[in-house]
Chain A
Amino acid sequence: MSRSPGRKQENHKISRELFVLTYGALVAQLCKDYEKDEDVNACLDRMGYSIGIRLIDDFLARSAVKKCRSYSETADMIAQVAFKMYLGVTPSVSCNSATGNEFSLILDKNPLVDFVEELPAERASLCYCNLLCGVIRGALEMVHLAAEVSFLQDRLKGDAVTEIGITFLRKPEDRKHRR
């Protein structure tokens, strides 16, 4: 990952492999530390949350995007701008509910699972990329949007696609904020 051009600092890239390996090592260590899958998932979510609450300002500062005026604009922003900026992929967005507050991000390519084929048998309910859910949840919270974020489908578990579900919780106030 490299910084966006135009910054006066050195523009050095860090290798993608190193990042993916680091993430893998993190998950592996958590699996050693916790027996239950739910505990590992919760831990990943918490870590992601503390990343998200800080990452949001970096996103807003660099992308200089304007306020989103609706949940669907927000979901589009996450998929098309944020994912692109940080992971280099653009998931597609679909709206799941008639009420307009449930969305899905469908990930074609997920760099975090570059080197993972499938989950081991004893870790069948592990959400490998749960960190991402925490990041999204933390970031949204900092712009005053409460949401539940979780994996609805996961290629690692044998599903056809990897799908992240975002459910916005509160009714928007007069001023809608954005992620």
Chain B
Amino acid sequence: NKAGGLIYQLDHYAPRADTEKTFSFPLDLVLRPHDERVVVAFGQRDGIRVGHAVLAINGAEVNGRFTADGKDVLEFLGNPANYPVSIRFGRHRLSSNEKLMLASMFHSLFAIGSQLSPEVGSSGIEMLETDTFKLHCFQTLTGIKFMVLADPRQTGIDALLRKIYEIYSDFALKNPFYSLEMPIRCELFDQNLKLALEVAEKAGPFGPGS
């Protein structure tokens, strides 16, 4: 929204592959704590990659750095008596709080982007490119920002952003029970957005561009 608060987010991708394996002592992966999680630092193998977090031990989901029954994960895995043990690794999904924070941060960076420009009247950040994804951002003249994180090879994102703007102006704004600037909880908005994303995906990297 105009103040930089995240009012809607949708994860639209194929489910991430988690890997579950049984291990015997000693563990050949190097684990370390990171933020509130235990992640793989070294020893990548068999689909378990550096950066993957420990998601579950023996079928029970871990709670941050502690097992379901309150023991410290690293201590638990350091004790040979607990082996063999089955551990599930995977990429940690961002919580909604984390997403809110990241969105606000991007809102500020967006503004800084336009101020840094040597040209007058420059736009904010329109695209952020990394080796694994591209972030596209479109700001309307009313101050609403739409962001799409996509595969770097995906084309047609500009057209998709404009389509999302249309969907927003139809199913969110024209809903009399939706208050401006608040989180969007409109069924029709969700449905139409998913449809538009599917259409854009089918077009694919080889499809028509914007």
Question: Are B169 and A61 interface neighbours, CB within 8 A?
Answer: yes
Collect the chain A residues with CB atoms within 8 Å of residue B162's CB: 61, 64
Question: Are B142 and A56 interface neighbours, CB within 8 A?
Answer: yes
Question: Are B166 and A61 interface neighbours, CB within 8 A?
Answer: yes
Complex CA–CA separation, A144 to B165 (angstroms): 19
Q: Is B118 an interface residue (CB 8 A)?
A: no
Complex CA–CA separation, A57 to B166 (angstroms): 8
Min C-beta distance of A29 to chain B, whole Å: 18
Q: Is A109 an interface residue (CB 8 A)?
A: no
Min C-beta distance of A47 to chain B, whole Å: 12
Collect the chain B residues with CB atoms within 8 Å of residue A177's CB: 141
When C-beta atoms are compared, the residue in chain B nearest to A53 turns out to be B180
* Interface residues contributed by chain B, number (CB under 8 Å): 16
Q: Is B168 an interface residue (CB 8 A)?
A: yes
Complex CA–CA separation, A121 to B120 (angstroms): 56
Q: Is A54 an interface residue (CB 8 A)?
A: yes
Collect the chain A residues with CB atoms within 8 Å of residue B169's CB: 54, 57-58, 60-62
Q: Is A84 an interface residue (CB 8 A)?
A: no
Complex CA–CA separation, A175 to B169 (angstroms): 24
Q: Is B144 an interface residue (CB 8 A)?
A: yes
Q: Is A137 an interface residue (CB 8 A)?
A: no
- Could you tell me which residues of chain A, from 147 to 166, have a CB within 8 Å of some CB in chain B? none
Q: Is B170 an interface residue (CB 8 A)?
A: yes
Q: Mark A34-64, 1 if CB is under 8 A from B, else 0.
A: 0000000000000000000110111011101
Collect the chain B residues with CB atoms within 8 Å of residue A142's CB: 142-143
Q: Is A174 an interface residue (CB 8 A)?
A: yes
Which of B140, B162, B168 neighbours the largest number of chain A CB atoms within 10 Å of its CB? B140
Q: Is A143 an interface residue (CB 8 A)?
A: yes
Question: Are B141 and A143 interface neighbours, CB within 8 A?
Answer: yes
- Could you tell me which residues of chain B, from 161 to 208, have a CB within 8 Å of some CB in chain A? 162, 165-166, 168-170, 173-174, 180
Asked whether A57 and B165 contact (CB < 8 A) given A143-B141, A177-B141, A178-B141, the answer is yes
Complex CA–CA separation, A143 to B140 (angstroms): 9
Question: Are A174 and B120 interface neighbours, CB within 8 A?
Answer: yes
Question: Are B166 and A54 interface neighbours, CB within 8 A?
Answer: no
Question: Are A175 and B121 interface neighbours, CB within 8 A?
Answer: yes
Question: Are B142 and A60 interface neighbours, CB within 8 A?
Answer: yes
Q: Is A16 an interface residue (CB 8 A)?
A: no
Question: Are A143 and B121 interface neighbours, CB within 8 A?
Answer: no
Collect the chain B residues with CB atoms within 8 Å of residue A67's CB: 141
Which of B141, B142, B143 neighbours the largest number of chain A CB atoms within 10 Å of its CB? B141
Collect the chain B residues with CB atoms within 8 Å of residue A175's CB: 121
Collect the chain B residues with CB atoms within 8 Å of residue A57's CB: 140, 142, 144, 165, 168-169, 173
| 28 interchain pairs, CB-CB under 8 A | A54-B173, A54-B174, A54-B180, A56-B142, A57-B140, A57-B142, A57-B144, A57-B165, A57-B168, A57-B169, A57-B173, A58-B169, A58-B170, A58-B174, A60-B141, A60-B142, A60-B165, A60-B169, A61-B166, A61-B168, A61-B169, A62-B166, A62-B169, A64-B162, A67-B141, A142-B142, A143-B142, A175-B121
A-B complex: 3 closest residue pairs judged by Cβ atoms: A57-B169, A54-B173, A58-B169
Interface residues of B (CB under 8 A from A): 120-121, 140-144, 162, 165-166, 168-170, 173-174, 180
Interface residues of A (CB under 8 A from B): 53-54, 56-58, 60-62, 64, 67, 142-144, 174-175, 177-178
Q: A57-B140, A60-B142, A61-B169 given; name 5 further pairs at CB < 8 Å.
A: A61-B162, A62-B169, A174-B120, A175-B121, A177-B141
